């Protein structure tokens, strides 16, 4: 397997925390939480492929989840010691995929807004699944048309109508430039279709977190993961939506600290 290049920030001392941000993000997404943790942990973070200083690794139309699972595995290997993974959104989904595949075996996982929304519930597709498929189709068409507001289709879905327009201009510009990579992420996510019951094979403890105002797909997916995982606890952050790691850093830091303390590592 090819050895991948990736950025990896590394600061502080203590138990190792590997932070995997989601789409439209770099290690900077964790600055508020890192500040709240106060240097009592070794905090590492990368960017997912195609973002920040991490090159894209998917080629042509090959967007299968497998190459991203290997990417996560190589990042975990680079830590060089037992590690807790803290993931947000697509980063959390990739951590779950790598754990399910047996490529990584972290001490535990703190999942903020994990979104494996193409995983299969026992009773058939969730009622919102057709709406998600239509949204992805709209997003793909907008990216193909070079619509500068294409990223807003995704960001507003996860937050609220108008959220993209309210972002600082520099952030909107970053998201606009990153929209084609995010479309690849959606195609990769669509290739990850385990049954939710399969997560019962994962041995590592999980803390599953979502915001009180997160959209129904995130809430339903979190509930399904909690139902089937062997050792999972769910935490809901009041007043928060999908972007809680930025808007509620103190609450998120407390959740991470409680997770590590529970595991005694």
Report the CATH number that the domain containing residue 18 is assigned in CATH: 3.40.50.1820
Q: How many domains does the chain have?
A: 1
| Any domain includes 161 | no
pLDDT of the chain along its 265 residues, tens only?
699 999 999 999 999 999 999 999 999 999 999 999 998 999 999 999 999 999 999 999 889 999 999 999 999 999 999 999 999 999 999 999 999 999 999 999 999 999 999 999 998 999 999 999 999 999 999 999 999 999 999 999 999 999 999 999 999 999 999 999 999 999 999 999 999 999 999 999 999 999 999 999 999 999 999 999 999 999 999 999 999 999 999 999 999 999 999 998 7
249 within a domain of the structure (yes/no): yes
Q: Let me know if residue 74 belongs to a domain.
A: yes
Closest Cα partner for 111 from 8, 213, 224? 224
Place of tokens 């959740």: 255
Distance from the first to the final alpha carbon of the chain: 32
Residue 139 falls inside a structural domain? no
CA separation for the pair 265, 102 (Å, rounded): 21
Q: Where are the alpha helices (DSSP H) in 62-117?
A: 65-79, 90-100
What pTM, to 2 d.p., does this model score? 0.97
Q: Kindly state the DSSP code that residue 16 receives in the 8-state scheme.
A: E
Q: Is the torsion defined by CA of 162, 167, 168, 173 positive or negative?
A: negative
Q: Is residue 83 part of a domain?
A: yes
Give the pLDDT score at 161: 95
Give the DSSP H or E segment for 221.
Answer: helix 216-228
* 133 domain residue, yes or no: no
Of 99, 43, 73, the closest CA to residue 225 belongs to: 99
CA triple 50-48-241, angle to 5 deg? 115
pLDDT at 264: 87
The dihedrals phi and psi of 95, each to the nearest 5 degrees, come to -60, -45
- pLDDT value of position 179: 98
pLDDT at 265: 76
Q: Residues 109-124, buried b or exposed e (16+ Cβ, 10 A)?
A: bbbbbbbbbbbbbeee
Would you list the DSSP string of 46-69?
Answer: ---TTSTTSPP---TT---HHHHH
Answer yes or no: is 236 within a domain: yes
Range of the domain at 102: 9-125+194-263
Task: Judge whether 251 lies within some domain.
Answer: yes
Burial of 36 (0-12, 13-18, 19+ CB in 10 A): middle
């Amino acid at each position: 397997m090819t050895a991948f290049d990736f950025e990896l920030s590394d600061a502080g001392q203590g138990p190792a925390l590997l932070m995997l941000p989601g789409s439209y993000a770099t290690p900077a997404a964790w600055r508020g939480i890192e500040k709240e943790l106060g240097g009592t942990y070794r905090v590492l973070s990368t960017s997912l492929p195609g973002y920040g200083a991490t090159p894209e690794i998917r080629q042509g139309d090959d967007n299968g989840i497998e190459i991203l699972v290997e990417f996560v595995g190589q990042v975990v290997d680079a830590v060089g010691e037992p590690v807790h993974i803290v993931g947000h959104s697509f980063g959390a989904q990739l951590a779950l995929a790598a754990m399910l595949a047996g490529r990584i075996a972290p001490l535990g996982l703190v999942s903020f807004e994990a979104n494996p929304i193409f995983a299969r519930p026992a009773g058939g597709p969730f009622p919102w699944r057709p709406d998600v498929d239509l949204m992805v189709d709209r997003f793909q068409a907008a990216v193909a048309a070079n619509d500068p507001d294409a990223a807003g289709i995704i960001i507003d879905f996860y937050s609220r109508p108008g959220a993209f327009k309210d972002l600082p201009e520099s952030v909107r510009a970053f998201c606009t430039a990153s929209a084609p990579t995010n479309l690849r992420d959606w195609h990769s996510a669509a290739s990850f279709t385990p049954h939710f019951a399969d997560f019962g094979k994962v041995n590592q403890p999980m803390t599953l977190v979502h915001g009180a105002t997160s959209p129904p797909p995130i809430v339903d997916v979190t509930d399904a993961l909690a139902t089937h995982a062997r050792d999972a606890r769910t935490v809901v952050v009041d007043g928060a939506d999908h972007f809680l790691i930025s808007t509620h850093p103190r609450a998120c830091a407390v959740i991470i600290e409680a997770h590590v303390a529970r595991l005694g590592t």
